[in-house]
Structures are given as C-alpha cells and as structure tokens.
Amino acid sequence: MVGMESFIPVITIDGPSASGKGTIAQCVAKALDFHYLDSGALYRLVALQALRDGVDVANVDALVKIAGNLNVDFQGEQIFLDNALVTGKIRAEECGIMASKLAVYPQLRESLIKRQRDFCREPGLVTDGRDMGSVVFPGALLKVFLTASVDVRAQRRYNQLIEKGMSANITDLQRDIQLRDERDANRGIAPLQQNKDARLLDTTSLSILQAQNKVLKWYEECCANKWV
C-alpha cells in the first residue's frame, strides 16, 4: 500500500550492480529482524521466464504478461518459481543482463511495483534495488545509496561466480558492469541516481560488517529524530 512506509519502518538500499547492496540489506534485515525484499530478483525472475519461453526482450506485452503471472515464493534467501528453486539460476550473468534491459519498460515496472510494496509488513522492511527509495518507497525512514568502484565490484562479482562453480572473466565483468551502469543511469524511467534525501555509502574499502554497522547507526539516528 502506498504510504504504508509512513507507519512501518522501511530502509531502502539502492545502488549500481555488484555494489554489495543485497548482502548489506540482508545483514541489516537480519540484525533488525525485518522482512527483506530483493527487488532485482523480481526482474531477474521475469528475465528467467522470458528466456525459458523464448520471449524476445523487445516484446513488452509478453514480458508484462509474464510479470503478472509469476508464481513466486520467497523463503528466506531461497527463491522459488513455480515451486522450483531458482536462486542460483537468476544470479547468472545472462539473466542479470536481460533483467537490466527489460527494466527500462514503464509498463513492466508498473506491473511489479504493487508486488514490491506488498512486502511492506510489520515489524519493518529492508529492500535493495535501483529505485526503491525514489519510486517504490518514497516515504522510507532511511534511504541509502550504496556504491563502490567498478574494479572492486567486478572482483566481488567474479568471486561470487567462482564460489558457485561458474566460469567468469574479470575483464568481461568490468565491461558488463560499466555498460549496465550506463544503461541504468540513462533510462527514461526511474534512472539510477542518488536522491537528495539518500545517504551515500561507498563500500570500496569497507568490510560487510563495517557497512552493515554504518547503516544500523544511521537507522538508529533516523528513529531518534523521528520522535524528537
């Protein structure tokens, strides 16, 4: 429900690809015992289903139909599509690249916004994405824009893929991340950018714990200021 974040605390963590926002958001949600939403997973799920169905990325009507019929279940960190575990599959680079391409369509974004807002439930929500604070939850208590250098982000993505037993090339990853940054920042609807009311957190030289603690400290400050 629009405006629900005025009553239920919401923390949005937006940022570019491979910046670590998902990891930090999950850690913060766990520390606060809040619900967690990986908004990008919804776009990746649409991309995965489109790839399975052989739907072209330019077929907007078909993509919107897929989004409307997604049978999705989030169980902790595990994601199920049509009752089948797809957590690893939607993290594949092919899926991520297609998700970034189809996310430029206003009709598709609109069809997924309600699903995203439905995650706003007590006791609170931590969500990460690219337009969570600017579009989906504009009344969020705390908005964070998380970033890191391209080299560090490419290395993190490389490490993630290798750990999962997938092949990866660091040069290709750097190029893909730069292209995705360009596409996300220049899209006509909800472009990736730091809002004026979002706090910047550069994790280039920070550990996961340091970044998590920074967000938790900001959240405490926001809670204190809210009741002053």
pLDDT digits (tens, 9 = 90+) for 171-182: 999 999 999 888
Residue reference for tokens 């949600």: 29
Place of tokens 């998590």: 212
Its CATH class, for the domain covering 10-213, is alpha beta
The pLDDT value recorded for residue 2 is 52
| pLDDT score, position 195 | 84
pLDDT digits (tens, 9 = 90+) for 7-34: 899 999 999 988 999 899 999 999 999 9
pLDDT exceeds cutoff 60 at 1: no
- Six token digits for residue 8: 């239920």
**Band of pLDDT at residue 4, cut at 50, 70 and 90:** low
In the predicted model, what is the mean pLDDT of the chain? 89
How many other CB atoms sit within 10 Å of the CB of residue 18? 23
pLDDT at residue 5 in the model: 56
